Structure 1
Amino acid sequence: MVDVKTEILIHCPKEKAAEYAADPDRAPEWYVNIKAAEWKTEKPLKIGSKVAFIAHFLGRKLEYIYEIVEYVPEQKLVMRTADGPFPMETTYTWHMEDAYTTRMTLRNKGVPSGFSTLFTPFMSLMMKSANKKDLRKIKQIIEQNH
């Protein structure tokens, strides 16, 4: 089991941080490993929405479809994929620390199958490192544009 949780403080109101982070079209801008996002259902984002992502991780190209399974605007977004060698659930949460500071949490959890199980401890470390970079990048983008 992989369960990686990272968080960062972003100096802007919660609604601005959440609006940017919850937009799948923006994912390639701030995720180190995501190269493309393509809507498989109609916009806007809602429970049941599906978005295909193309990512590069550990030297491999990964293609997967996330389904939105929980969405409370400006509070929480949960996406889940069941396909591929590493089914994954990604959760974003946003909490107001004060009027101009948002705590964004990014959590990835999943259970690797097959050959991937050999790399579970290594994957956790790599994911934590990538998530930290992703959160630093989203903080930089949001704070520059706020």
Structure 2
Amino acid sequence: MRAIVTDLHARLTAALSVPVLLPEERDVPAQAAPLDAQGRPMVGGGERGLGAYLRQHPQGYVQLEEPQGITASGAAETYWVPIGCVAPSAAASEALAREALRVTCGLATREPGYYTLAIPDSPRAFAGGAYLTRPTVSRTALGGQL
């Protein structure tokens, strides 16, 4: 359901100081090129891919995934959405995930969020010196509306 991705992207982009990538942007980090002193992509030389992307965004980034329909009962449909939090260290990845959950689920405050934590996660080594924490949030739509 695209409305969930759009809603999550808007909420996380407004609250976090890191890039929040849509599902169709999953290849952006892998295609990153090193930047020169003026911030322009360098031609040749230098590490490319995820390592270059994390050097450009040292606090990490959030990768939204496509919502997965879990249950349907009449007009109510429940979706799960994994939120990938990638950073150069396990501690930074976990901190980014906690902040994303605070924004989406209200876990760090007494205010409830618009989403519910469905599956917690802990950081694990990913690729190229990166760490991934991938909690999954849940959202129910009524009649296709959030």
Do they superpose with TM above 0.5?
no
Whose strand proportion is higher, 1 or 2? 1
Higher relative contact order (CA 8 A, sep 6+): 1
TM-score w.r.t. structure 1 length?
Answer: 0.41
Specify the structure having the higher radius of gyration (Cα): 2
